[in-house]
Each structure stands twice: as C-alpha cells, then as structure tokens.
Structure 1
Amino acid sequence: MDPLPFHAPSLLPQPSDTALKHHFLGRNLKDVQAPAVVLDAAVVRRNCKLMLDTAKQLDVGFRAHVKTHKTLQLTKLQVGEDSKSVKLIASTVAEIENLLPWLLECKKAGKEVNVIYGLPLSPSSLPRLSTLAHHLGPGTISLFADHPSHIALLNTLPPNTWPGRIPVLIKIDTGYHRAGVSPGQPQLTALAAALAASPRATPAGFYSHMGHSYATSSPQEALRALGQELEGLEAGARAFLASAGAPGADAKKPLLSLGATPTATAAQNLLHDAGGGPASAEYRSLLSRVSREFSVELHAGVYPVLDLQQLATRARPAESLAQPGQSLLSLRDLGLRALVEVVSVYEDREKPEAMIAAGSIALGREPCKSYGGWGVVSGWGWEGEGGNGGVFEAEGERRGWVVGRISQEHGVLVWEGEREGMRELRVGEKLLVWPNHACMCGPGFGWYLVVDSEAEEGPDVVVDVWTRWRGW
C-alpha cells in the first residue's frame, strides 16, 4: 500500500484540539475575541436528522456533501450514527484525506463506504486520489466525467495504480450550465462509447447539481425544480444507456444522484404538506415511477446550517403544516453565525451606521436576492434592553441592522427603516450576524466555536471546538 507522501493533513496540520478547548471551553461568546464563527449544535442536529428522516420516508438514498463545513464532527451528523453506509461528496482531495482515518474505521465496522470527488477529473489530482483508493479499497472513491478525455486519462494509468475498476459517474447538465453534459448532445454519445470501451473505468451512475434552484421563491417552485431535475437526469441517463447498451438483467439499478439544498430539502414538502399543494402527489408519483428502474438518491451540502440565501429560496414554509410547531425554514433553522465586534459608530450619517472588524474575509461576498446587504444582525444579547429594536427580515419587517457594505477587514452596519425605536450600538459590543452564504463564511476561520441551545450551559457558552480542514 502506497504511503501518503503528499497529503493535506501533513502539509497543513490542524491546530491542537487540546489547546483550543483549553482556551475556549466554558467561555461566554461575549468574552471571546471577534471575529469568530459559531455553530449551534442543536440546530445542526435537527437539520441533519430532518434530512435523513425525509430520505428514509421517501425510500431514497442520501449523500452528504462536506464542502460547507469541512469537519469530521459535522460529517458524522450528516451520515447518522445508525447508518450502515457512508456516502459522501467532497469538493477537494484534502477533504477526503482528512476523512481517511474515520472512513477506515467505518470500513472496519462493516459499513459500505463511497466518496465522490466532486469535480470533473483533473490529471494532477489522480495520484492522491489513487492513493486514497488503495487505502480504502475497490469501489470506494468515485470520479466524475463529462468528456471522453476523462476516460482516456484513466486508461493511461499504469497497472496497479488503482484497485479494481474505477467507478465513474456521468455528470449530467440539467440546466445549471456549470459542469456536465446535456442529454442529446454528441459529447454524451462519445462519452458513452469511451466508457464502454475502457479497460479501467466502469459506469457508476449519473449525477446532477441543480444550482439554479437558488432562484426559487416558493415551495411550489422548489418542488417544480426538483421534478425538472429528476426528469432531466433520467433523460440523460437513458440517452447514455441507449448509446452504451443497457445493463444486463442481473445488473443493479443505475444510480441517479440529484440535488442542491433547495431541491433536496424541498422533498420535505412531500411529507409535511408543506406548501406543495395538489402537485405533491404528482411529484411523489414521478419519484415512484423513476425509482422502479433507477436507484434514486438526494444530495446536498449547506442544509445542516442553512443561511440567508436558503431562506430567500422559500423552498419550504417556515413551519410544517402536518406537524405544527416543527420548524422547516426560518431564522430558527440557521445554525451558523459570525461573531463580530463593533469598533466605531456613526450616528450623524444619513442612515445610522457602525463599523465592525469583519469584512469579506470573515463574511464572504456573495449577495442574497432578498435584500441588498451582506449579513443580518440577529437580536442576540439584546434581551432585557427594552427589546431588540427590530431584527431585519427580508420577508417581514424590513427594519433593523444589516451589513450594508464590506471590504477586506471592514464591515459597515447600516440601520434600515425608521429611526424611532432604533437599537443603538456601542463601541466594543459583540453581535452575531447571519451570513448570506454559510459556505463562504467558514473559510476565513481555522475552527468553529460550538454552542448548544439545548444544553444546560445555555446558548451562549462554548461547549466544543471543531477544527476546519484546509487545503485542496
């Protein structure tokens, strides 16, 4: 078995867990130096369980993407403690390398392990991926292909560089136009011919990412996008199989893996009467029909923590109609916040403003379609001070503090709405901000401070620290 001479854990070592916990455990967030990124473990557990329960009740598979958080602890919550299989997607080789010790433990416990490297294959990634495949065994590392040259590249691998035949998923473009090949295109036919003739690679299924589902604005639209993706992926699979030759009678059902957080979580509408309306039965019927010939799985990444972009999709209503009181998509379901500190205030500007020592590196720079800012200040810490003065809600009262402008290390908070009753900010005050896009809020930090709103310590006390993987 090849060693791991070049891999992220050795080149980019993690900070000491012992030192981090010694410094942070038991501290109140108001006593922690900002900026920092904070996870609420209770919210994360609830979101992960809801997704796993949904897949189980719909009788479909689920594959968790680890790119949002890049931590072992949250990966385990995504998979579920009782799961007999570990199905993951990673956007970097470094993510798989950091997961390797735990994946080996899972295999030793008899669990099925499969991790997809989530970009079309590149020559420079192959040596590290093949080493991982050697450590984990045949069939554990799957690759994407959407061009015949990817198969040609695999055919050039020297013997014994990859255990067994290399599983390849065909990336189908269902309208997002990022990666993937569209059904009916000559490139798909050529890819099918290349894979059929390959001595090294074997088809492992079909995959699509419905990234444009972020544009949805209602449960009905999100369900419609889910149906369109399923139909588009099925069409791509059928076109490929028609070119390559249908699998034999003894072959497993071909895999269809579809999703993005808006569409994958929109599947919850089928179980919670959550705004899907009469069309819910239509989509249940579609799913049932496709499942007779294909093995269907959902995949998603940001759903454990969610963010303001996800709220803007309105892919589910705030609360389940079938189970009143069960939150589905509201501010209560956002599990990641940025801890920031006010460093100056400007009451005399046209709109009241304040500065925080956190800009694009801490918060990200991705917009949100529902409002013009870069984050929303929560009401955390304002209880007992005459009310929070209003928390800005894009779908409700558009009154409160938002991150209105950002540069590298500077963020400018802007008060939106009437000044009357405004909650004044003070220099040195700590605030928690919901970011637009959680995936882009984490990379500026080496670890997450974990609180637990259901724990005895209360929602403001650090109960754990999760280190975040680095590298590519």
Structure 2
Amino acid sequence: MNTTLETPALLLDEARMMRNVARMQSRMDQLGVAFRPHVKTSKCVEVVKRQMAAGSRGITVSTLKEAEEFFCAGINDILYAVGIVPNKLDHALKLIRDGLRLTLLLESVAMAEQVARHGAEHGVCYDVMIEIDTDGHRSGVKPDDPVLLQIAAALQGGARLKGVMTHAGASYDCNTPEALQAMAEQERSRCVAAATLLRNGGHTCEVVSVGSTPTALSAQHLDGVTEVRAGVYIFFDMVMADVGVCTIDEIAISVLCTVIGHQPDQGWVITDGGWMAMSRDLGRDHHGYGMVCDGDGQPVPELGFGKANQEHGVLQWRREPGVDITQRFPVGSSLRILPNHACATAAQHGSYHVIPQNGGDWPVWPRFNGW
C-alpha cells in the first residue's frame, strides 16, 4: 500500500480493471455483436484507450464534454446517449464540422423536427437514434407506439435515422440469474420490435443498440441486435455485486482514507473520507456509504459506514463491544472503501491513483468532470 498519498484518494486496481475489460469484450465477441462501452464511468482517456485496444468499436458518452475530450484523444465514433436539446445543437455541430462522427439521440417528433431543421440550415445531416423504452425505467418511446413512425418521418433533410437504442436500467433491481436473463431478453426483444416497426414502415434502421452491465453479462443471445453498450463493468461496484454480476474482489476502484479519530463510547472510527469522497449515493442502502476494507483491500465486515458528513466518515463498530477500536484502527492507519456506485464516486475525484498490474511506481491517470 502506498502510505504517502494524501487522503482521501481514489485508487484504481489496474489488474482487476483489465480482467473486467477482457471479460466483457470476450462475451460480446461470443455473442457476435459490436461493443460500444459507455465511458461516463471512468471519464479517463487512459482507461478508454484500454477498452478500445481490447476491441471496442466506438464509445458511448453522456455529455458533449465527454465527446469533445475523447475526440481530442483520437476517438472518432461517438454516440451521445442522452436526448439532445436545442441549446446543445451548436456544440454538436461544431464537433461534427471538426470531423467527429457523432450520433445524436432523441425521443420526440418536436425534437426530430428541430434537429432536421438545424442540420438543413447549417448544411449537415445529423445521424440520429430514437430512444426506446423497454422497461419503464426512464425515458424513450414504447416499442409499439405509432409515434415512432412520426419521429422517423420528421428526420428528413438535415437528419437521418440511424437506428434505435435502449437502456434496461430496471436490470439494477434484479438479483437472480433468472431475473437478469429475463430482463436481458425483454430489452433485446422490445428494441428489435421497435426496429421492425420502423422497417415495416419504410424506414432504414441499421443499428439496434441495447445495453446495461447486468443485461450485457446475462443475455443468452442477441438476435437482431447490432451493438451493446455497458459502462460500470469497467470498475464494478457494490450495487453490481448485489445484483449478482460481479464479486467483491472484482471491484476495481476504492477510496483510500485515513483514520483521524475515535468516539470509543459510540464505537465510532472517524476517517477523512466523508460523502464528498464517496458521493451521497447509498446504493441499495444496506452498505451505507460503501463497504469498509482494510488498507490492503480486504473487507472488514465489523465496520459499518452508515453515517457521513462532508469531510468525515463515521464508521460504526458492529461486533464484540469489548474491542479497543483505538488500538485496532489507530489514528493514521489506512482504510479503503468500496463504492456503491462507481460512476458517482469517481466523479468526486480529479484523478486515479493506479495500483499497477506489473508493480512499480503508481501512475496518476487524470479524469475530468462537468458538462
């Protein structure tokens, strides 16, 4: 363990991450689909380079800033997988004029008309995907809704329909292999049905894009699908462990913190890693702000993390009331916290301190935030 780091610090276990990369890419290759990872989890060029080297075909982003950063890093095929709105069209236009193959997402006739009009006015033809709601989790058009044909019809002149896209976010609520497989099949079949409706209506629909980490790792087949997207698999987290698609020892990031004090009468160990270091995402709520591990990353189940202030983590000793926590966890000792939600925790930090898979000095990989 590197004990010279100022804490809290975001650690990345490179060996675990590379195993996660290989696992997902191998599965996509076996299923015969292209893989377009969602890079909002890492927002890190060094991480994404490794995903691309493993065989990914393009990337998925959640902000135009991500699109710009990764385009500058040499990635030229990007899906912006959040519904486009008018005040972002000029930014998208600039990226396209600079040479980026950018695909936009929308879910309404009104926005389809605006995108097509904006493209025609500025002499470009936007590639557009229609978002499909396959699980009632978030946004999108129902796969059998006739408005799909109206949206496609509005994509004329300055826009063209490239395909359909869905995200089975409801898979995060599953926790058995059978439920995950059923959700993966629901996601696949309903997105394919939307593509079929469009094709039967006379519209080209070349791309059928599905994805979430749980469904990508649970699908039994992907007939009719052309690409899969997944993001959190790169690091995994406690929610994914609870869902059942990873184990604790596959989680690649953790927050290193330092014990700064105690409240022995309360059974509390106080650290410098509060919710600003972890995020306020409580996941499924039974891990508190994350799973506590020792400095080497081994879980310490006796310590709960149910209370946090902005810069203070308050860990609760939950076993053997006679244990002297001041001796067991002395001031200055290191602990590591496995995050509930890797994307949210990583967003609290400006860089990764990388535990290299081949030993040696620990490099620092920058990441970015914002929009």
Asked if these proteins are the same fold (TM beyond 0.5), I'd say: yes
State the alpha-carbon separation in 1 of the partners of residues 249 and 52 from structure 2: 22
Alignment partner of 2:347 out of 443, 446, 450:
443
The aligned runs of 1:364-375 (5 Å cut-off) are 364-369=279-284, 371-375=286-290
State the alpha-carbon separation in 1 of the partners of residues 123 and 34 from structure 2: 27
Q: Which amino acid aligns with 1:263?
A: T
Query: Cα deviation per residue 1:296-320 (whole Å; 9 max; x = unaligned)?
Result: 21110111110001000013xxxxx
Asked whether 1:468 is paired with 2:367, we answer yes
C-alpha contact 1:134 1:162 (8 A) present in aligned 2: no
3-state secondary structure, aligned to 2:280: coil
Q: Which amino acid aligns with 2:286?
A: Y
Alignment partner of 1:340 out of 223, 240, 257:
257
State the alpha-carbon separation in 2 of the partners of residues 422 and 69 from structure 1: 39
Query: Cα deviation per residue 1:239-263 (whole Å; 9 max; x = unaligned)?
Result: 23334x154xxxxx72211111111
- Corresponding residue number in structure 2 for 1:266: 218
3-state secondary structure, aligned to 1:132: helix
Alignment partner of 1:59 out of 22, 25, 32:
32
State the alpha-carbon separation in 1 of the partners of residues 17 and 324 from structure 2: 32
Count of aligned positions: 369
3-state secondary structure, aligned to 2:105: strand
Structure 1 221/150 Cα, relative in aligned 2: closer, same or farther at 3 Å? same
Deviating more after overlay: 432-441 vs 216-225: 216-225
Asked whether 1:148 is paired with 2:113, we answer no
3-state secondary structure, aligned to 1:232: helix
C-alpha contact 1:402 1:414 (8 A) present in aligned 2: yes
State the alpha-carbon separation in 2 of the partners of residues 87 and 161 from structure 1: 26
Alignment partner of 2:92 out of 108, 126, 129:
129
Query: Cα deviation per residue 1:311-333 (whole Å; 9 max; x = unaligned)?
Result: 00013xxxxxxxxxxxxx21111
Ranges in structure 2 where 5+ consecutive residues have no aligned partner: none
State the alpha-carbon separation in 1 of the partners of residues 136 and 311 from structure 2: 33
- Corresponding residue number in structure 2 for 1:330: 247
Query: Cα deviation per residue 1:400-420 (whole Å; 9 max; x = unaligned)?
Result: 212111222222111234447
Structure 1 241/447 Cα, relative in aligned 2: closer, same or farther at 3 Å? same
- Corresponding residue number in structure 1 for 2:304: 402
Query: Cα deviation per residue 1:133-191 (whole Å; 9 max; x = unaligned)?
Result: 11225xx100001001111111322657364x211111000114312111223432321
Asked whether 1:90 is paired with 2:20, we answer no
Alignment partner of 1:80 out of 46, 53, 57:
53
C-alpha contact 1:373 1:405 (8 A) present in aligned 2: yes
C-alpha contact 1:265 1:303 (8 A) present in aligned 2: no
State the alpha-carbon separation in 1 of the partners of residues 47 and 170 from structure 2: 26
C-alpha contact 2:34 2:57 (8 A) present in aligned 1: no
Query: Cα deviation per residue 1:406-441 (whole Å; 9 max; x = unaligned)?
Result: 222222111234447787211221211101111111
Structure 1 455/116 Cα, relative in aligned 2: closer, same or farther at 3 Å? same
State the alpha-carbon separation in 1 of the partners of residues 195 and 69 from structure 2: 32
RMSD across aligned C-alpha pairs, in angstroms? 2.2
The aligned runs of 1:420-439 (5 Å cut-off) are 424-439=328-343
Asked whether 1:303 is paired with 2:263, we answer no
C-alpha contact 1:94 1:469 (8 A) present in aligned 2: no
Asked whether 1:193 is paired with 2:153, we answer yes
3-state secondary structure, aligned to 2:178: helix
Alignment partner of 1:361 out of 276, 289, 303:
276
State the alpha-carbon separation in 2 of the partners of residues 342 and 446 from structure 1: 22
Offset of 1:128 from its aligned partner?
1.4
Q: Which amino acid aligns with 1:310?
A: M
3-state secondary structure, aligned to 2:311: coil
C-alpha contact 1:312 1:370 (8 A) present in aligned 2: no
3-state secondary structure, aligned to 1:64: coil
3-state secondary structure, aligned to 2:3: helix
C-alpha contact 1:309 1:369 (8 A) present in aligned 2: yes
Asked whether 1:391 is paired with 2:354, we answer no
C-alpha contact 1:175 1:210 (8 A) present in aligned 2: yes
Query: Cα deviation per residue 1:373-421 (whole Å; 9 max; x = unaligned)?
Result: 1111113349xxxxx7x632xxxxxxx2121112222221112344477
Asked whether 1:117 is paired with 2:83, we answer no
State the alpha-carbon separation in 1 of the partners of residues 120 and 150 from structure 2: 25
Percent of aligned positions that are identical: 29
Q: Which amino acid aligns with 1:298?
A: V
Q: Which has more radius of gyration?
A: 1
C-alpha contact 1:312 1:368 (8 A) present in aligned 2: no
Query: Cα deviation per residue 1:64-89 (whole Å; 9 max; x = unaligned)?
Result: 111011010111112225x4x74111
Deviating more after overlay: 369-378 vs 144-153: 369-378
Alignment partner of 1:242 out of 200, 203, 228:
200
C-alpha contact 1:363 1:374 (8 A) present in aligned 2: yes
Offset of 1:233 from its aligned partner?
0.8
Asked whether 1:204 is paired with 2:162, we answer yes
